[in-house]
Structure 1
Amino acid sequence: MTETPTQTQTETSNEPDETIDQPDQQTDASPTAGSAPTTGFDLGSNTMARYIAWGALGICSLLAVFALIQFYGSVTDAIDLWVDPKYQPLIRAAFNLAVLLTSLIGVSLLARELNYSGD
């Protein structure tokens, strides 16, 4: 008797496993539904958000400088109106010193924050 070679039990059981695993794998060539395009501006990116934050900081800074100039002028007018003329230079000096110290604290805090966020 001559036996012909046939597939063993382990060889036949491996073939169905290979076909089951194949549909789960996806190739990178086909885009998935809902994926964002890789070209152009991505509004959700950190870079775009950082540019928007810097722009908003610039606009708010300009408004703050304008409001500070108006406030400064109003305070000096109030000093002229309410304070006796011989004490006006002293009051103006104290007010100018308070404005200077406040602005230096703000600059220091902003410089520290920008230094830490740049790392």
Structure 2
Amino acid sequence: MLVLKIHSKKLAHFGCYRVNGTYFVIKYGQQNRNKGESMDNQEVNVELVMLLDEWDPFKIGKGNYDTEIADCVYAVHKIDNVEELAAKIQKIYEFSFEETIPMENCLSISAKLLLTKESGSCAL
């Protein structure tokens, strides 16, 4: 998976996605899908980024977690267990902010992230 933060609006039309003023290019796996198929990985990644950005666990405002979001999106694709993912998310944010997020909060976001990932792998 590749997550790039883009600072130039000129690059926005090259498959980038904008979240709170920041442009991201997220590439992971196959990009094409047929009618009736589920979201592709790129669309799932955009949804994951938006969920994590809206989460704002330390109430410092959206758009202040770019590095942590990239690490969490990567973890979502590697971990399928809610508890394991929650522990990983807790560690990611603790490393950056030197403050521990309650495990209940991490479990909640972990479940949402895995549900989003699953919606991308199952046809609707």
Report TM bin, short chain: under 0.3
Higher Cα radius of gyration: 1
Q: What TM-score results when the alignment is normalised by the length of structure 2?
A: 0.27
TM-score, length-normalised on structure 1?
0.28
Structure ranking higher in strand proportion: 2
Whichever structure has more helix as a proportion of its residues is 1
